[in-house]
Amino acid sequence: MNTTTEEVGELQVVKSLQVYAVLFGCIMALGLPLNAVSLWILLRRHSLKSPNTVFMVNLAISDLLLIISLPMRVYVYATGNWPFSSTACLVTAALFYTNIRSSSIFITFISVDRLLAVVYPLRSRHLRTSTNAWKGVGPIWLIMLVASISVTVKLSGRPPHNHTCFVPHDTNDTAPKISPAAYLDLVLTSSLLAVNVVCTAMVLWTLRSHLSESAKVKNKLNVMLIFVLNLLIFTVCFLPMPIIQVTGLQSLPITCLSAVNCCLDPLLYYFSFDAFWKKQDVEPS
């Protein structure tokens, strides 16, 4: 009877993992063309002299790097086997989580840039330059790279649980160890969400007040949709992950939900430009 119960349990786990293989496969199939086409349009038809474009190009690159890590997840969830080394597992996982963090930061940069463009269009002109935008994104990539390498080197050599990778497993520990990085992620994500909330409130207040500086803002509905979409991505895709991590648990549904952001981000590009498909030399207001 015990053997039968164990076999049934293992069969249920296999079936659930296969469901996640399909879900991650769908995210990859949708996110790859959306971000690849968006990146091509941003580079080909919109000038990198715009800080908004600089942030969005880096966001698209971040999403594409996240998508690159998904094929191995699909393979593992479909077969239940990790055929490569533990280091390869760590690198692939680091690529996934690092680019979720960088995406949250770049989205916040976009919110702050839109805030300055709408609320302080004249006073912020000297700040909203492509040079300053690159100065902002450059250190982010450097920090993410250093953090990923350090974690990979520190954990390198540890075999994946039961020779698999990305698969949560039960633990007998009554009090699972929680990494300090989990608390740092929660603080970072909560802080970035707070910044987006403040930006959204200030822009909404400015647009509704019809202040002189914001009177010439075009497509006000699109402007607000950018902020609404940013808040949606943060609350649905980014925030649940660090909350789960500080509990010491692992959750495939939350991980899957986090990856969905790469499919939602291309909407930001569309709403951020009055004519996304048309070539522009000057950033719209």
The confidence band for 68, taking pLDDT boundaries of 50, 70 and 90, is very high
pLDDT at 170 over 70: no
* 160: its two tokens: 């994946």
What confidence score (pLDDT) does residue 265 get? 93
pLDDT of residue 21: 93
> 236 near 194, Cβ under 8 Å?
no
- Asked, for residue 172, whether it belongs to a domain, the answer is no
Query: Is 169 inside any structural domain?
Result: no
Asked if the model's pLDDT at residue 218 lies above 90, the reply is: no
Per-residue pLDDT of 84-118, as tens digits, reads: 888 888 888 888 988 899 999 999 999 999 999 88
More confident: 274 or 201? 201
How far apart CA 137 and CA 58 sit, in angstroms, is 8
User: Is there a domain that residue 27 lies in?
Assistant: yes
Candidate from 12-21, 28-37, 272-281 with smallest mean pLDDT: 272-281
- How many Cα atoms occupy the beta-carbon half-sphere of 62 within 13 Å? 28
Mean pLDDT of 231-257: 90
pLDDT tier at 156, thresholds 50, 70, 90: low
**Domain membership flag for residue 215:** yes
Neighbours of 108 (CB within 10 A): 20
Choose among 114, 89, 124: nearest CA to 223: 114
Establish if 1 belongs to a structural domain. Answer: no
Please say whether the beta carbons of 236 and 265 come within 8 A.
Answer: no
Query: Looking up tokens 């509990």, which residue turns up?
Result: 247
In a domain, 168, yes or no: no
Rounded CA gap, 214 and 240, in Å? 35
> In this structure, what CATH number is given to the domain that contains residue 101?
1.20.1070.10
Residue at 46 is within a domain:
yes
SS3 assignment, position 255: helix
> Mean per-residue pLDDT for 14-27?
89
CB crowding 3-29: b at 16 or more within 10 Å, else e: eeeeeeeeeeeeeebeebbebbbebbe
Q: Does residue 57 belong to any structural domain of this protein? A: yes
Q: Total structural domains in the chain?
A: 1
In the predicted model, is pLDDT for residue 15 greater than 60?
yes
What stretches of 46-129 show up as alpha helix (H) in DSSP?
51-68, 70-79, 86-119
With cut-offs at 50, 70 and 90, classify the pLDDT of residue 44: confident
Domain that holds residue 256: 13-160+178-272
- Which pLDDT score is estimated for 268? 85
> Is-contact 229 261, C-beta < 8 A?
no
Model confidence, pTM: 0.87
Residue 64, pLDDT above cutoff 70: yes
Provide the 8-state DSSP code for 166: S
Q: What percent of the chain has pLDDT over 90?
A: 46
Q: Which of 205, 207, 195, 194 shows the shortest CA–CA distance to 285?
A: 207
